[in-house]
Amino acid sequence: MLPGLLGIAVFYLIPFGDVVRRSFLQMSGEAFCGMDNYRTVFSNAAFRLAAKNTARFVLVCLPLLLVLSLLLALLASRFSVRLLTVFKSAFLLPMAIPAASVVLLWRLLFDVNGFVNGALHGMGISSVDWMNTGAAFAVLVFSYIWKNLGYTMILWLAGLASVPKEVYEAAAIDGAKSAARFFKITLPLIRPMIFTIVVISLLNSFKVFREAYLVSGNYPQESIYLLQHLFNNWFLDLSVDKMAAGSVVLALVIGLFVGILARCWEER
Amino acid sequence: MERIMRKFKRIVSGLCMLLLSALMLPGCGGPEGSEGESYGTQRAEGTDINPQGGAKGRFLETELAMPEHISQVLGVRKCEDGSIVLFGYDENQITLYRAISENQGQDWVETSLEFGVYRLAAVGEDGSAALLGYGMSEDDRDVFLVDPEGKTSYVHLNMSEVSGYGEMSNQILSAAYTAGKLFVVDLSQKIYEVDLTGSTTVGSMREFTKAIAEDVHDILPLNGRLAALTSNGVRFLNTDDGTLCEEDEVLTQALGVVENNTDSAQFSVIPTAGGSGDEIYFANHDGIFYHRNGASTVEQLANGELLSIGDASVTFRELSWFDDEHFVIFANDSLGNERCYRYVFDAEASAVPEKQLTVYALEDSTVLQQLVGAFQKSHPDVFVKKNIGMTGDDSVTAEDAIKTLNTEIMAGNGPDVLVLDGLPADSYIEKGILADIGDYVTAADEAEGLFTNITDAYRKDGALYQVPLRFFFAGLEWDEEVGPIAGTPAQTAARIESLKDGNGPVLTPVSAEVFLYAFYDACSASFRTESGIDEPALGESLKAAKTLYDLDGYEESERFSYGGFGPFMYQGQNIYGTISQGSMGRISGQAKVSVGTYSGVDEVCNLYGIENSRAGSFGLLCGEENRAFVPFLSLGLASQAKDSELAQSFIQMALTAEGQSQMTVHFSVNRKAYENECRNVKPYSISTSGADGESCGYEVKPLSEEQMQELTAMLESLNTPMWSDRVVQELFIGEGVKYLQGQQSFEDTVSAIAKKVQLYVSE
C-alpha cells in the first residue's frame, strides 16, 4: 500500500496541497490575501456562467447516461454470448476513436452545411446553426452519451452478472413479475455497483471538455462554456490565484457530492 | 573474512569502472585530434553558455567597409595570390569600378573602368574577369573581358534563343571564370562553355555538360571544379570534361537545396575551396563549416547564431578562405546593402560567450533577428538566446506556446526580455512579471528623441512596462479627382460608396481579411471599453468593412490577400496588405481608392511616387475619433531577469538609432533612425501594365524635406494604440470574415463577437 500511497502523494496530494496554499496567496508577490481569491472567483461572471453550465451538463447527462446504459445492459443481458459480444463491441467503438477524429466527425455532422442539416433540409426542416446557438449544448450532451454509453453499459453488465440466477428463479416460482424482479432483486443487489458507476460517470463528464475545446476553441457558444474552458483561459492569462481558488472550490464540490453519495449508500 | 574481502574487491572494482567511465566521457566532447578537423569551436547542435567557461577559441566577426565608390557588387573573388578582386557600380550605377584588396578586405584600391551595362562579373583565379550584360538584345550580348593588368577587350556572345520568353529571348543567369575558361548558365538553365580562344570576337556557346538533368540556377568556381547549384542540391563538375565528380553524400546533405535569387547571384549557402584540393568550406545562416572530401562529418567552425550571417534575410555572394583562421564573407543584408564581414579566430576568446541573455518571442521575425545580431555585434561576450514560441516547424499554437511560457515563468525559468506581441501583456503587468522601463525610455528620448506619442501611450501612473520599437497604421490612398476621404467608419464607407458611378471599380479587389485587418487596426481602439466592447461602434466598423467589400462585387477568388507577397505582408505579424500594393491598382486605372497598411518609410516613398505619377493623396483610415497605430516588437523587461543589467542594456540599445538602424520594416520610434531612413531610401522605379495594356509606373525617391515634415506630422498625430489583444482580434477577423462573405447575418456577427469578448473580459 505504501508505494501506491507514495505515488498518490507525490503526483496528487502534494501538488493539490500547493494549489490550496496558492489559493490564499496573491499572484504578484505571493502575499497572503485571505479569502480574497475566493471572493474574486465567486464574483466573477465567467466563473458563475461556467459553473452553471458545468452543473447543468452533469445534471442532464448523468441521469440520462445511467438510465440509458442500464436499459441497454438489461437488454443485452438477454442476448446470446455471440450477439452480446457484437453488441458490446458496437457500443465500445466510440471509446476507441481518437479525439481528433471525433472532432472531425462533429464538424462534418454539425456544421451549418453539415450532414445533420442536410438531412433536416431533406425533410423540409430549416437548418440549425448547431455550434453557435443554444443547440450546442444538445450536441455536447449527445457527444458525451454517445462516447460513454458503451463503457457504462459494460459496468452495468458486470453488476448484473454478479446477481445469482437462483434468486431470479426463486422469484419466478413465487410469481414475481419482471418489474418486481427488477426493483426488488436486481436494483438492491447491484447497489454497490451504482455508486462506482455514478462516480466514474461524473468524472468522465469532465473529459468532454476536450472535444468541446477542439471544436469551438477557448470561447465556444456560451451554453457549452465549461469550467475547464475557464481554467484553461486563466492559465493562459497567468491568473494562478483565481485558478487555484476555483480548483479548490471544484474539488470541494466534487468531494461533497461523492461524500453525500457514499453516505447515502452506507445508510441504506 | 574472505567473503568480506571479496565484497570489498567488488565494490572497489565497481568504483574503478565508474571512475574510468567518468574519465572517458569528457573525451567524447574534447578537442578534436583527427586530421584536418581541429578547427572546432562549437558544435552545430545549438549554443549554450559554458558554465565552466573553460574552453577557449572562437571566430570573432568584424564588419569591414566596402570599397568607397562601390555600392552594387557585380562579382567578387579571392585570387590565387591572396588578393580580393571586386567589380561593382557606384550608387548612381554609372561608373564601373574594379577594386583590389591585398589585406583581406581591410583596404581597397579602386580603378574606374569603361562604362557598360552589366549584371554580373565572373572573376578568375588570376584576377581577370568577364563581365556580362543582360543579353536581351543583340547589342547587349558583349562579354567585357578584363585581364589582371586591367586591359580590356570584348567578345560578342553568340547565344541561342530560348523559346517561351517572348522579347526577352535569352540572358545569362550566372557565370564562372576559371582557368581561363568562361562558363555561363542561360535562361534554359543549362551550363555552357564559352569559347574565348584565339583572336575571335565571337564567343560561341557550347553545351558544357549533359550530366545534370535538373535545372541549374547558378555556378561557382571551386578549385578546378565547378559547383552547380541545382534544383536538387549542389553538384560538382570537372571543368575539363564536364563529368560529374564522385558524389560526397555528407557534403551534399549538409549543403542541402540552395535557395537563390536568380536576379542577383546571391545564395542561401556559399561554398569555397580550402588550401588542399579536397577541402571545402561553406557558409550559410547556421554558420561557417568545413568538410574534407570523403569524411563522415561536417565541422561547424563558427556558429551563425552569434554572427550577422545568422540573419535569415542575408544572402551570400562570396566566401573567401585565407587560412584556417581567416575568412571574409561578402553578403547582402535584408535592405540589399552590400556587406563585408571578416572572421578571425581568436584563440583567447571563450569558445562560447560567457554571458547569456534570453529573449522570448511568440513568433520569429527578421526585425528581431536583426536586433539580436546588432546586440551581439556590440556585445561579443554575450550570447543572445532567442526562444521562439511558434517556430512553424511543428503544430504548436499560440495558446500552447503561451502555456509553456507561463509554466517557465512560474518555475522561475522565464526569459530576461519578452517580445510582447501576441502575449497577454496587460496580465503580465498586473501580475508583476514585467519591470518598469520608463527611465530607459525617457533617457533614450532625451538622448536622441523618440516618438513619445507612441512610447508614452503605454505609460500608466508614471510607470512604463512595455515599449514598441516599431509601429505602423492603417490608411487610405485616393485619386485626387475624388477628393479627401475622412471621418468615422460609416462616413468613410458612405463617401467611398458614393464614388461608384458605374464607370469601373472603386477599390482594389482585396480579400475580406485585408479589409477587416485594416478596420481592426484603425477602429479597435474606438470599440474598446472598460467592461468589454461597445457594440454600436463594433457594428459600425463591421458594416463599413462590408460596404467596401461588396462595393465592386468581386468574387472572393478574384481578390488578393497579399499573403506571402512581400516582406511586410504576413498574417502572423498582423501586416496584411500594404497600401501601395493596393495603389498599384489606382495607378493602372483599375481603382480609385486603396485601403491598407502604411508599413514603413519605404511604403510612403512609394505613395509619393504614385502621386507624382498619378495625382492623389493619402491619409489615416477612420482617424476621426482615435488616430490609432499598431505597435510592433514591443519589448518588456522581466522583473525576474537573471541578468537584469544585461537585459536593460538590450532594451536600451534597441531604442537607440544604432539599434534601430538594423531594423528594416515599419516606422521607427527613434526619430533619428526615422530621419535616416527617410533620407537613405534608395531610388528605384516600378512599372506595371494598365487596364489598357499600356505600361505605366512610377519612381521611388528619398523623401524631400517637405514630404518628411508632412509624414512626421502624421506620425506625431497618432495617439492611441490599437486593441492589441490576440483573442479579440481573432474573434473580430474570424466572425467578420463570415459576415463579409455572407455566411452570417450582421446581428449574429456582432452578437457572437460581443458575447465572447464580454466573457473574455469578465474572466
Identify all chain A residues contacting B743, using CB atoms and an 8 Å cutoff. 112
- B465 contacts: CB under 8 Å, gap ≥ 6: B425, B428, B429, B434, B435, B436, B437, B458, B636
More confident residue, B705 or B259: B705
**Whether A238 and B760 lie within 8 Å, measured CB to CB:** no
Q: How many structural domains does chain A have? A: 1
Neighbouring CB atoms inside 10 A of B583's CB total 30
pLDDT at A172: 87
Is the pLDDT higher at B42 or at A58?
A58
Query: Residues of chain B whose C-beta is under 8 A from some C-beta in A?
Result: 399, 402-403, 406, 409-410, 424, 427-428, 430-433, 727, 731, 743, 748, 752, 755-756, 759-760, 762-763
- The stretch A44-67 carries a mean pLDDT of 94
What whole-number distance in Å separates Cα of residue B177 and Cα of residue B79? 12
Mutation for testing the B interface, residue in A40, A223, A236, A243 having most B CBs under 10 Å: A236
Residue B27 has pLDDT above 60, yes or no: no
- Most confident of the ranges B165-169, B206-210, B248-252, B381-385: B381-385
Query: A246 lies in a domain?
Result: no
- Cα–Cα distance measured from residue A148 to residue A62, given in angstroms and rounded to the nearest whole number: 11
Confidence category of residue B574, pLDDT binned at 50, 70, 90: very low
Give me the residue from A28, A112, A237 closest to B432, CB to CB: A28
Mean pLDDT score, B611-616 = 81
Instruction: Spell out which residues of chain A touch residue B433, defining contact as CB-CB under 8 Å.
Output: 238
Q: Helix (H, G, I), strand (E, B), or coil: what is residue B142? A: strand
| Gap from A252 CA to chain B (nearest CA, Å) | 21
How far, in Å, are A131, B52, B155 from residue B312 at the CA level?
42, 31, 39
pLDDT in tens, B58-114: 898 888 999 999 988 999 999 989 999 999 998 777 889 999 999 999 999 999 987
Looking from the CA of B415 toward its CB, the CA atoms found within 13 Å total 24
CA distance B526 to B451: 22
What distances in angstroms separate CA B412 from CA B407, B638, B639, one per listed residue?
9, 11, 11
User: What is the model's pLDDT at position B198?
Assistant: 55
- Contacts of range A3-10, beta carbons closer than 8 Å, 24 or more positions apart: none
Contact A236 B762 (CB under 8 A): no
Which tens digits make up the pLDDT trace of B324-364?
Answer: 899 999 998 866 788 999 999 998 888 888 889 999 999 88
- Nearest Cα of chain A lies from the Cα of B431 at a distance, in angstroms, of 5
Range of the domain at A113: 46-240
Question: Looking at the predicted structure, is the pLDDT value of residue B42 above 50?
Answer: no
Confidence check: pLDDT of B580 > 90: no
Give the best residue of B759, B760, B762 to mutate against chain A (max A CB count within 10 A). B759
Least confident of A190-204, A231-245, B449-463: A190-204
The pLDDT of A190-196, averaged and rounded, is 87
C-alpha–C-alpha distance, residues B230 and B224, integer Å: 19
The residue that leads in pLDDT, B650 or B150, is B650
Which CATH architecture describes the domain B469-601+614-631+721-762?
3-Layer(aba) Sandwich (3.40)
Q: Is the pLDDT of residue B475 over 50?
A: yes
State the average pLDDT over residues B607-619.
84
- Using a pLDDT cut of 70, give the percent of chain B over it: 85
Confidence check: pLDDT of A163 > 50 = yes
Give the Cα separation of B481 and B616 in Å (integer).
8
Neighbours of B698 (CB within 10 A): 22
Rounded CA-CA distance B637/B433 in Å is: 8
Q: What is the pLDDT of residue B141?
A: 66
Q: Mean of the pLDDT values across residues B48-59?
A: 65
Q: Which residues of A fall within a CB distance of 8 Å from B748?
A: 129, 132
Domain boundaries, chain B: 2-44+55-352, 372-468+633-665, 469-601+614-631+721-762
Q: Which residues of A touch B404 (CB under 8 A)?
A: none
What the block records as the C-alpha cell of B712 is: 512626421
- Binned at pLDDT 50, 70 and 90, residue A226 comes out as very high
Domain-embedded: residue A228: yes
Looking at every residue in chain B, the average pLDDT score rounds to 82
* Closest residue to B424, CB basis, from A112, A225, A237: A237
Measured CA to CA, the distance from residue B604 to residue B681 in angstroms comes to 11
How much of chain A is in helix, strand and coil states, percent to nearest 5? 80, 0, 20
Q: What is the pLDDT of residue A145?
A: 92
Report residue B333 CA to chain centroid gap.
8
Question: Residue B661: which pLDDT band, with cuts at 50, 70 and 90?
Answer: confident
- Calculate mean pLDDT across residues B485-491: 89
Q: Which phi and psi angles does B426 have, rounded to 5°?
A: -60, -40
Task: Please answer yes or no on whether B410 and A240 come within 8 Å at the CB atom.
Answer: yes
Distance from CA of A219 to the nearest CA of B (A): 6
Q: How many alpha carbons fall within 13 Å on the CB side of residue B144?
A: 22
Asked if B432 and A29 come within 8 Å (Cβ–Cβ), the reply is yes
- What percent of chain B shows pLDDT beyond 90? 35
In the DSSP assignment, the letter for residue B293 is T
Is the pLDDT at B673 greater than 70? The verdict is yes
Can you tell me the distance from the alpha carbon of B515 to that of B339, in angstroms, rounded to the nearest whole number?
39
SS3 B654: helix
Domain range B2-44+55-352, CATH class: mainly beta
Whether residue B434 has pLDDT greater than 90? yes
Nearest CA in chain B to A225: B759
The minimum CA-CA distance between A162 and chain B, rounded to whole Å, is 47
Which residues in chain A are closer than 8 Å to B762, comparing Cβ atoms?
Answer: 44-46
Q: What is the DSSP string of B357-370?
A: EEEEEEE--HHHHH
Return the SS3 of B186.
strand
For residues B346 and B57, give the distance between their C-alpha atoms in angstroms, rounded to a whole number. Answer: 5
Residue of B nearest to A28 (CA): B431
Question: What is the model's pTM?
Answer: 0.76
Tell me whether residues B432 and A234 touch, CB distance under 8 A. no
- Contact of B600 with B581, CB cutoff 8 Å: no
Whether residue B31 has pLDDT greater than 50: no
Cell of A198: 455514478
pLDDT in the model for residue B33? 33
Closest by Cα among B676, B687, B680 to B702: B680
- Is A238–B731 a contact, with Cβ atoms under 8 angstroms apart? no
Say which range, A199-208, B5-14, B148-157, B224-233, has the weakest mean pLDDT: B5-14
Query: Rounded mean pLDDT of A196-204?
Result: 89
CATH superfamily of B372-468+633-665: Periplasmic binding protein-like II (3.40.190.10)
- From the CA of B51, how many Å to the nearest CA of chain A? 30
The Cα A200–Cα B442 span in angstroms is: 60
Are B431 and A27 in contact (CB < 8 Å)?
yes
> Looking at the domain assignment, is residue A264 inside a domain?
no
SS3 B74: strand
Alpha-carbon distance of A81 to A83, in angstroms, equals 6
- The sign of the CA dihedral A215, A221, A226, A229 is positive
Closest chain A residue to B425 measured between Cα atoms?
A: A237
In a domain, A257, yes or no: no
A44 → closest Cβ in B399, B755, B762: B762
* Nearest chain A alpha carbon to B430: A28
Chain B residues closer than 8 Å to A28 by CB? 430-432
Consecutive H or E run containing B539: helix B535-550
A251 in a structural domain: no
Q: Do A239 and B763 touch (CB under 8 A)?
A: yes
Pair B405, B358: CB distance under 8 Å: no
Asked if pLDDT for residue B619 goes beyond 60, the answer is: yes
Whether B666 contacts B465, CB under 8 Å: no
Q: What is the CATH number for A90?
A: 1.10.3720.10
A240 neighbourhood in chain B, CB within 8 Å: 410
Q: What angle do CA B690, B692, B697 make, to 5 degrees?
A: 25
